[in-house]
Amino acid sequence: MSNIPSELKYTKSHEWISDNENGTVTVGITDHAQELLGDLVFVEQPEVGKELEAEEACAVVESVKAASDIYAPLAGEVVEVNEKLEDEPELINSDPYGEGWLFKMKLADPDSLESLLSADDYAAEADQ
Amino acid sequence: MPFIPHTPEEIEQMLATIGADDIETLFDEIPANIRCQSLDGIPPAASEMEIAREVQAMADRDAGALNFIGAGAYEHHIPAAVWQLTTRGEFYTAYTPYQAEASQGTLQLIYEYQTMMTGLTGMDVSNASLYDGASALGEAILMAVRVHRKSKSRKILVPASLHPNYRKAAETIVKHQGIELVELPIDPQTGRIDPTALEQYSGEDITALAIPQPNFYGVLEEADELTAWAEQNNTLVIGVVNPFALGLLKPPGEWGENGADVVCGDGQPLGAPLSSGGPYYGILCCKQAHVRQMPGRIVGRAVDADGKKGFVLTLQAREQHIRRSKATSNICTNQGLVVTASTIHMALLGPVGLRNAAALSMANTRKLVEKAAAIGIAPRFSGEYFHEVALQLGQPAAGVLERMAANNVLGGYDLGQVNPSMADSILVCATETKTDADIDRFIDTLQAAL
Amino acid sequence: MLIFEHATPGRRATAQAPATMADIDLPKRFARKSPTGLPEVSEMQAVRHYTRLSQKNFSIDTHFYPLGSCTMKYNPRACNSLAMLPGMLNRHPHAPLSHSQGFLQMMYELQEMLKEVTGMAGVSLTPMAGAQGEFAGIAMIRAYHDSRGDAERSEILVPDAAHGTNPATAIMCGYKVREIPTDEQGDVDLDALKAAVGPQTAGLMLTNPSTLGVFERNIMEIARIVHEAGGLLYYDGANLNAILGKVRPGDMGFDVIHMNLHKTFSTPHGGGGPGSGAVGVAERLMPYRPIPVVARDGDTYRWLTEDDLPDSMGRLSAFAGNAGVLIRAYIYMRMLGKAGMPRIAEFATLNANYLEKRLVEAGFDAAFPQRRASHEFIITLQKEAKELKVTAMDFAKRLLDFGFHAPTTYFPLLVPECLLIEPTESETKEEIDGFVAAMVAILEEARNEPDTVRSAPHTMPNRRFDEVSAARKPDLRWRPGE
């Protein structure tokens, strides 16, 4: 089984969410997702300042033979994107929970974090 | 049976293997009530000898005229080697190079094409080509809208000096996506985009400005000034160029301060015969930063398992076969065979040959204008022109052209078709293929037809 | 070696362009200062270079090329040599009607023949490729609904087995896409279709035979469901070769179709184009055909343009599409004639069913073993991938070493580890038998020396490429000084 850190939150669509405890969260894709996608070659990021709705397709990760949408886990505003991925999309493969983070967003409703999956819930989902 | 190799014995053996009584059985899943009984509207088969005689007769009916029409399709000399090589079966009958290891010929050639086209246009990246110049403009506009995410208007300024059918085709292609093409009028004196009309859009959110060079009337646009306006106004520039002219003209990558953002055009003048309007090919080039928004095939250089260099289709995740409804375009193929011809054509011309052919075309058209002046005919516009010019005849052009055609001289394009106010003017082009005697014949025939 | 690496400054293929530069008065602000970067080579260097490049290609003229969904049949040489008669090549697209009657007659007769073989009321030849024909077709559906004030129709239905162009096209025409699932037999799931149609349905795009290589048996029921909901039925002609002269799209209830003339009517694929995607329409879509169209008035022919078809969905090209391709299709159709058309479907189908049967007998798994193959069929190497760790891609690459172009791999997406195989009618029995022998030999290798298969090809100009690095750091042109 792939790595699913217990301190993070998750979505069914394989995003992880880390609470920065300042009203913002960091979003990335899980180890399981990067394994399924294979070697990534390009990441299309959302614009900083963009207001996202929950579950809105907001970014794309590409491998040689596939392109997959990344969905906003919750409603909020994009405040920063990981610019390193522009030249090194492979960071998502090598370090999905660290240097391979995608973007940070300011949540419209900080309490909405509670609605996301826990590590155990996600592990059960990913198993299916 | 034409093009079917089976002998009766083989058919028997194959049916026995399948376990079917006859070939008809193989169609038993098609509902009987909709089956086609007979194609009565199709004539009986013609042998190669018979069809050759018929087609030769049709070709002869249309042949033999001396042509001075341009208007988006230009007669140039194509070296014999170009199409002899292009119609080699290995180029002619290959498919899209999906299996890179078995398609290195086509792939390397496209990489060479991309290199030549970026050199000619002064741009960073070229794709492997689109269908033609007009549809390439449509794709260039869609691309500009995707690239310029900050611009919300989806308004594109398209000058009236751009080929009328390019404007129509682009409209067809983009109109269902909430994009508005706004016509920018020309200055009736110069035949160029009217700078005061452009000025009215300063400060407005305009996604892109299309700049034809040379424009439909053969006139050279003030590309640097127009690009500078766009740069100040945060508007992208789409260059629409004749690549043949780029042997002499400043490439769009060098217009203004930073150059055009997207460049399109028709590759026909570089190796494609007139051929009733096609197949030609569409050029599409862009700045490096925009490459992921480019539609169509792109070839890249790669290394193989032995570390040896070669070529592959790359950046495929932009395309319809992967991204389906989210693709940059529905386009699948390029115009591979015409690009093959064009690449060989460019290699045979080289930098000096292209420049000299372009210069001779320009000089021949000037010669024609000088001789026309002697019979009282002058250019309609004052703007500098490349190898095509609008001449004002002082009487309905349609009748004059008809009388010239009766003498087997195709004297030009009737501008009344574009704009009724120009019904007394023709668009004429004398490329490097025209001799002094040809130009004299044009003038004599024109004079007689006036 | 690239053509640029053969170049030497000052060398020229002098004979083929003016030797000196004419005097011109080009103002400085328009003039080019930077080099064009074109190579400086002799004519013979160029001829040798491109001849050698051509030899690195597989092609129909050199190899069996059973690329499913692409109809890689023999391209008769007469079609090419006649299309390249000077009278054909030198005709300007704006030539007056007095100098166009030969060409227009040919185009008119081509329109008429295509109407006959498809059962449609009218044809337009202008779309320059299948994808452009699709676009024209869906744009016509849109124009039809709009003209009736039926603006609520916002959705195009597409089977999940469809080619990627179908959904991409619907989006370009401003529609939303709804996918319809396929049942286990490879037919459209009728219950799902019934549940999906409604007042929002603009139309359904269907390929028949489908991309799964089987004939859609419920086509009349599908047509009824879509039409009763007020939608129109679009036929993707990718697989027309399978049914030519056997059953016509017009008789199956389709309102609008495109044809891939580069498949069914044997115009060359040219390394990826030019194609031609002529469209056919039923009576109610006649006003919306893309322009120009050729018409006959008595003994003369002329173009129909904006004045004649004011409700047209528009123009798609600067002139009238890929005329040179259309000429080739015309000549091919004339050489086939009335009796030759259905024979195309018959022998394409015979070859496909024979090849499928032989592969199944050799131990391969057909994706739809209970169905007749159309002109193509799918085998799935799921078992081999699982048990032997040798994938469809490995088989495809190893086939190259045996002198066969690979079938289409990993399409349609519905069938895992698939090869979509289309032998076409022009192949001989012994060629097909040779392909079976190669597949059997590769299966044997997969069992005994799987690394040979996994690392194939071994005899091509290149081994397998690192496509990941190529996509991460795209190298899209040569630069001087390399």
Q: What is the DSSP string of C401-441?
A: HTTB---EES-STTSTTEEEE---TTS-HHHHHHHHHHHHH
The residue in chain C having the minimum alpha-carbon distance to the alpha carbon of residue B80 is C16
Q: Is B264 in contact with B238 (CB distance < 8 Å)?
A: yes
Which residue range is the domain that position B226 belongs to? 80-343
In a domain? residue B10: no
Contact of A1 with chain C, judged by CB distance below 8 Å, is answered with: no
Pick from A42, A72, A37, A78: which is nearest to A57 by CA?
A: A72
Instruction: Supply the CATH number for residue B427's domain.
Output: 3.90.1150.10
Stretch B349-364: mean pLDDT, rounded?
96
Residues contacting residue B16 through CB under 8 Å, at least 6 positions apart:
none
Scanning B100-159 for CB atoms below 8 A from A yields: 149
C337-C339-C341-C345 Cα dihedral, nearest 10 degrees: -160
The pLDDT tens digits for C355-393 are 999 999 999 999 999 999 999 999 999 999 999 999 999
- Averaged pLDDT score across all residues of chain A: 92
Are residues B91 and B175 located together in one domain of the fold? yes
Q: Please determine, for residue A96, whether its predicted confidence score (pLDDT) is greater than 90.
A: yes
Q: Do B323 and A41 touch (CB under 8 A)?
A: no
Stretch A57-77: mean pLDDT, rounded?
91
List the single residue in B59, B278, B354 with the smallest CB-CB distance to C36.
Answer: B354
In a domain? residue B191: yes
Q: Is B75 in contact with B67 (CB distance < 8 Å)?
A: yes
The domain boundary, picked from B286, B313, B343, lies at B343
Domain ranges of chain A: 9-106
Contact of B19 with chain C, judged by CB distance below 8 Å, is answered with: yes
Are residues B398 and B333 located together in one domain of the fold? no
Q: Which of A37, A39, A65 to mutate to test the interface with C (most CBs of C within 10 A)?
A: A39
Are residues B308 and B354 located together in one domain of the fold? no
Are residues B231 and B282 located together in one domain of the fold? yes
Residues contacting residue B24 through CB under 8 Å, at least 6 positions apart:
none
Are residues B71 and B112 located together in one domain of the fold? no
Quick one: what percent of chain B has pLDDT higher than 70?
100
If pLDDT is split at 50, 70 and 90, which confidence band does B269 have? very high
Q: Please determine, for residue C15, whether its predicted confidence score (pLDDT) is greater than 80.
A: no
CB atoms within 10 A of CB C101: 16
In a domain? residue B251: yes
In a domain? residue B310: yes
List the single residue in C410, C467, C472 with the smallest CB-CB distance to A89.
Answer: C472
Scanning B238-257 for CB atoms below 8 A from C yields: 246-251, 254
Contact of B321 with chain A, judged by CB distance below 8 Å, is answered with: no
The residue in chain C having the minimum alpha-carbon distance to the alpha carbon of residue A91 is C472
**Token duo for residue B136:** 């390439």
Residues of C in contact with B2 (CB under 8 A): 335-337, 340
H helix runs in B281-335, sequence order: 320-323
The residue in chain B having the minimum alpha-carbon distance to the alpha carbon of residue C464 is B304
If pLDDT is split at 50, 70 and 90, which confidence band does C13 have? low
Distances (CA, A) of A47 to A77, B284, B415: 10, 26, 46
Q: Please determine, for residue A1, whether its predicted confidence score (pLDDT) is greater than 60.
A: no
Q: Which of A41, A84, A85, A94 to mutate to test the interface with C (most CBs of C within 10 A)?
A: A41
In a domain? residue B39: no
CB atoms within 10 A of CB C433: 13
CB atoms within 10 A of CB B194: 18
If pLDDT is split at 50, 70 and 90, which confidence band does B333 have? confident
The pLDDT tens digits for B150-177 are 999 999 999 999 999 999 999 999 999 9
In a domain? residue B53: no
Chain B closest-CA separation from residue A68 CA (Å): 8
Q: What pLDDT sits at residue B405?
A: 98
The residue in chain B having the minimum alpha-carbon distance to the alpha carbon of residue C40 is B350
CB atoms within 10 A of CB B97: 27
In a domain? residue B153: yes
Chain C closest-CA separation from residue A29 CA (Å): 19
Relative to beta strand B180-184, strand B155-159 is parallel
Stretch B265-294: mean pLDDT, rounded?
97
Q: Is C91 in contact with C431 (CB distance < 8 Å)?
A: no
Are residues B373 and B290 located together in one domain of the fold? no
B228, containing H or E segment:
helix B223-232
Residues of B in contact with C235 (CB under 8 A): none
**Cα separation of B269 and B279, whole Å?**
12
Work out whether the CA dihedral B73, B78, B82, B84 comes out positive or negative.
positive
Stretch C430-459: mean pLDDT, rounded?
98
Q: What pLDDT sits at residue C223?
A: 97
Quick one: what percent of chain C has pLDDT higher than 90?
95
The domain boundary, picked from B343, B369, B390, lies at B343
Stretch C43-57: mean pLDDT, rounded?
97
- Averaged pLDDT score across all residues of chain B: 96
Neighboring chains of B (3 or more beta-carbon pairs < 8 A): A, C
Per-residue DSSP letter, B130 = B
The CATH code belonging to domain A9-106 is 2.40.50.100
Residues of B in contact with C219 (CB under 8 A): 31, 34
Instruction: Supply the CATH number for residue B126's domain.
Output: 3.40.640.10
Q: Do C467 and A64 touch (CB under 8 A)?
A: yes
Stretch A57-68: mean pLDDT, rounded?
88
Residues of A in contact with C472 (CB under 8 A): 41-42, 89-90
Find residue C296's DSSP bridge partners: C301
Number of domains in chain B: 2
Q: Is C406 in contact with C451 (CB distance < 8 Å)?
A: no
Q: Do A64 and C410 touch (CB under 8 A)?
A: no
**Cα separation of C307 and C420, whole Å?**
45
Q: C interface toward A at CB cutoff 8 Å?
A: 410, 467-468, 471-472
Q: Do B352 and C338 touch (CB under 8 A)?
A: no
Chain C closest-CA separation from residue B15 CA (Å): 7
Are residues B295 and B339 located together in one domain of the fold? yes
In a domain? residue B87: yes
Number of CB pairs < 8 Å for B and C?
673
The domains found in chain C, sorted by start residue, are 78-336 (3.40.640.10), 343-468 (3.90.1150.10)
If pLDDT is split at 50, 70 and 90, which confidence band does C474 have? very high
**Cα separation of C106 and C101, whole Å?**
8
